[in-house]
């Protein structure tokens, strides 16, 4: 399974993270997104006319939407990440998968503006990001009242993987996570999952690693 | 207010490879500037009031100054050595003091915690004793005999090695790191951090490298260095105080911070205080 990947892209990281959590080994093909704009070059435009990355290839299957990649990885290797098939949970997974695009368009665009100097109206993007974060916080609070720690279920699903990266990287775009205690708890729960991998800007939980010198810590 | 000595220094303002006639609007020390390719095929930089600013093109970047540089841009002799791959890493903006960005680059103690499993790893956290001096002839800060255990010191490094470094600060917002070169013992890989001060608390960072590595694809080299800097970025944006304190009292350095101590002393000696805090508050 081949992933056209950019190490600083939260959308690419979704696919890398899901693969790591599901135990799938990806064949990573680095794309010079910045400063080279290789994703707009002829080779990748032929593969994905939208001119975006990630792009996933497996045999003759070509996926250009990160949510579809999460579904594919989970269905192949870790179907429990798809959630159960009750009407409520299946719908909730879809709800948050769709919602994740709003995070990309707001927090993601704010991050590109603040970090890689991409154009955009930063005040509007940050404002839209804040609105989305408030919604996510409220959704997670409701889940907590139901006794569930994750977005769609009492266990993590692809919905969590879809929403986590742009939320965790919100401070890169100048949007603080300080006002959202339940988001921070949720972020911690995701970072503590077996098989979790980090990306630049998302630090691992050092304290959950084994003691560097067992018995002396 | 007195004229800041940093006005007369050279700063990176763009990638030479991305110069075009349309130009790019950016800033230097609070002054809006424009960088573009002139009709004569040379780089042009225009200041806020339309005046032409000094320009030179070197090390993959266009350099300029809001003032009147008294000397040429610092030399990196290794950059002209044949056989090196020259890597334009591209810009990353950070909401921090330009001096803080350089200071962080000079620090090795954070490697195991921020660049975990790349530039450092627990339990190998000890910073061994090293030497730091201000070389009076060149008027540069140099740290030498710096050694650190690294699990993946460079793209060309297989497995963990003890890497040796030298750090050099030839200008207030530029630093050059010389690092053990796994495929070519006896030579040093050159990794630079060129920082463009946009404001006292905002900078564009332009890492650049000159490496002996014929194997690793260019994109991997770029991504390696972008990974390292973006891991630092979130730390840089959360440092308190935001401006770099030049007087003792605000921060308590340890022996591992010796390069930072000497860098600050050198900044203060020259009055390089744009992005610095002079009196501890």
CB-closest option in A32, A200, A203 to B222: A32
User: Cβ–Cβ of B219/A38 closer than 8 Å?
Assistant: yes
User: Cβ–Cβ of B217/A7 closer than 8 Å?
Assistant: no
**Cα distance from A63 to chain B (closest Cα, Å)?**
22
Give the residue carrying structure tokens 């279920």: A153
The ranges assigned to domains in chain A are 2-80, 83-191
CATH T-level assignment (fold) for domain A2-80:
Glutaredoxin (3.40.30)
Strand partners, B179: B165, B189
Residue A71 tokens read as: 């579904």
User: Cβ–Cβ of A174/B90 closer than 8 Å?
Assistant: no
Q: Is A172 on the interface with B (CB under 8 A)?
A: yes
Give the domain range for residue B234.
81-277
Asked if B185 and B161 touch (Cβ cutoff 8 Å), the reply is: no
Angle between helices A66-77 and A158-168 (to 10 degrees): 140
Q: Is A2 on the interface with B (CB under 8 A)?
A: no
Regarding whether B255 and B141 lie in a shared domain, the answer is: yes
User: Cβ–Cβ of B219/A31 closer than 8 Å?
Assistant: yes
Point out the domain boundary residue: B54, B73, B92.
B73
Number of domains forming the structure of chain B: 2
Asked if A108 and A132 touch (Cβ cutoff 8 Å), the reply is: no
Regarding whether B262 and B181 lie in a shared domain, the answer is: yes
Residue B222 tokens read as: 């770029």
**Closest-CA residue of chain A to B118:** A200
Regarding whether B24 and B105 lie in a shared domain, the answer is: no
Strand partners, B211: B85
Question: CB contacts < 8 Å between A and B, how many?
Answer: 69
Regarding whether B251 and B147 lie in a shared domain, the answer is: yes
pTM (two decimals): 0.94
pLDDT tens digits in sequence order for chain B, 281 residues long: 456 899 999 999 999 999 999 999 999 999 999 999 999 999 999 999 999 999 999 999 999 999 999 999 999 999 999 999 999 999 999 999 999 999 999 999 999 989 988 899 888 999 999 999 999 999 999 999 999 998 876 666 667 888 999 999 999 999 999 999 888 888 999 999 999 999 999 999 999 999 999 999 999 999 999 999 999 999 999 999 999 999 877 788 888 999 999 999 999 999 999 999 987 55
At a CB cut-off of 8 Å and minimum separation 6, what does B37 contact?
B19, B20, B21, B23, B43, B44
Point out the domain boundary residue: B73, B96, B120.
B73
Regarding whether B228 and B89 lie in a shared domain, the answer is: yes
* Domain CATH for B46: 2.20.25.680
Regarding whether B134 and B61 lie in a shared domain, the answer is: no
Q: Which of B20, B225, B230, B232 to mutate to test the interface with A (most CBs of A within 10 A)?
A: B230
pLDDT per position as a tens digit, B172-224: 999 999 999 888 888 999 999 999 999 999 999 999 999 999 999 999 999 99
Q: Which of A35, A38, A201 to mutate to test the interface with B (most CBs of B within 10 A)?
A: A35
**Cα distance from A85 to chain B (closest Cα, Å)?**
39
pLDDT of residue B1: 44
CB atoms within 10 A of CB A61: 10
**Cα distance from B219 to chain A (closest Cα, Å)?**
5
Regarding whether B108 and B69 lie in a shared domain, the answer is: no
DSSP letter for each residue of B64-78: E-SS--SSPPPP-GG
pLDDT per position as a tens digit, A69-127: 999 999 999 999 999 989 999 999 999 999 999 999 999 999 999 999 999 999 999 99
Regarding whether B231 and B112 lie in a shared domain, the answer is: yes
Regarding whether B261 and B132 lie in a shared domain, the answer is: yes
User: Cβ–Cβ of B226/A200 closer than 8 Å?
Assistant: yes
Q: Spell out the CATH class of A83-191.
A: mainly alpha
Regarding whether B102 and B48 lie in a shared domain, the answer is: no
What pairing do the DSSP bridges indicate for beta strands B161-171 and B174-180?
antiparallel
**ipTM computed for the complex:** 0.92
**Cα distance from B63 to chain A (closest Cα, Å)?**
18
């Amino acid at each position: 399974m081949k992933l056209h990947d950019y190490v600083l892209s939260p959308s690419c990281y979704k696919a890398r993270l899901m693969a790591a959590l599901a135990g799938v080994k990806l064949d990573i093909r680095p794309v010079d997104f910045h400063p080279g704009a290789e994703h707009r070059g002829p080779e990748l435009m032929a593969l994905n006319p939208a001119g975006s990355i990630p792009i996933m290839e497996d045999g003759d299957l070509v996926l250009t939407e990160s949510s579809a990649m999460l579904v594919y990885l989970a269905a192949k290797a870790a179907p429990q990440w798809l959630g159960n098939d009750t009407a409520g949970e299946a719908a909730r997974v879809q709800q948050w998968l769709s919602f994740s695009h709003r995070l990309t368009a707001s927090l993601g665009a704010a991050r590109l503006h603040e970090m890689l100097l991409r154009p955009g109206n930063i005040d509007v993007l940050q404002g839209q990001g804040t609105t989305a974060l408030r919604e996510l916080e409220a959704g997670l609070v409701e889940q907590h009242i139901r006794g569930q720690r994750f977005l769609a279920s009492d266990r993590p699903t692809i919905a969590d993987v879809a929403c986590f990266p742009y939320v965790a990287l919100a401070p890169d775009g100048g949007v603080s996570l300080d006002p959202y205690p339940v988001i921070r708890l949720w972020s911690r729960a995701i970072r503590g999952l077996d098989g979790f991998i980090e990306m630049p800007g998302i630090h691992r939980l050092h304290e959950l690693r084994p003691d560097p010198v067992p018995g002396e810590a | 207010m007195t004229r800041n000595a940093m006005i007369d220094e050279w700063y990176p303002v763009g990638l030479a490879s991305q110069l075009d006639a349309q130009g790019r609007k950016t800033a230097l020390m609070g002054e809006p500037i424009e960088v573009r390719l002139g009709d004569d095929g040379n780089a042009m930089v225009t200041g806020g009031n339309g005046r032409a600013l000094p320009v030179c093109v070197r090390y993959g970047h266009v350099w300029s100054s809001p003032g009147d540089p008294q000397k040429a841009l610092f030399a990196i002799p290794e950059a002209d050595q044949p056989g090196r791959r020259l890597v334009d890493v591209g810009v990353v903006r950070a909401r921090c003091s330009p001096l803080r960005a350089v200071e962080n680059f000079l620090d090795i103690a954070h490697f195991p915690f921020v660049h975990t499993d790349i530039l450092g790893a627990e339990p190998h956290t000890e910073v061994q004793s090293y030497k730091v001096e201000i070389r009076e002839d060149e008027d540069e800060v140099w740290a030498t005999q710096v050694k650190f255990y690294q699990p993946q010191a460079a793209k060309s490094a297989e497995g963990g090695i003890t890497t040796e470094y030298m750090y050099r600060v030839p200008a207030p917002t530029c630093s050059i790191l010389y690092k053990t070169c796994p495929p070519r013992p006896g030579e040093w890989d050159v990794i630079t951090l060129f920082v463009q001060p946009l404001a006292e608390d905002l900078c564009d960072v332009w890492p650049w490298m000159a490496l002996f590595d014929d194997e690793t694809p260019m994109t991997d080299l770029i991504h390696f260095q972008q990974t390292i800097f973006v891991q630092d970025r979130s730390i840089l944006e959360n440092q308190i105080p935001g401006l770099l304190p030049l007087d003792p009292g605000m921060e308590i350095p340890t022996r591992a911070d010796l390069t930072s101590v000497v860098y600050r002393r050198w900044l203060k000696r020259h009055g390089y205080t744009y992005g610095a805090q002079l009196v501890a508050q």
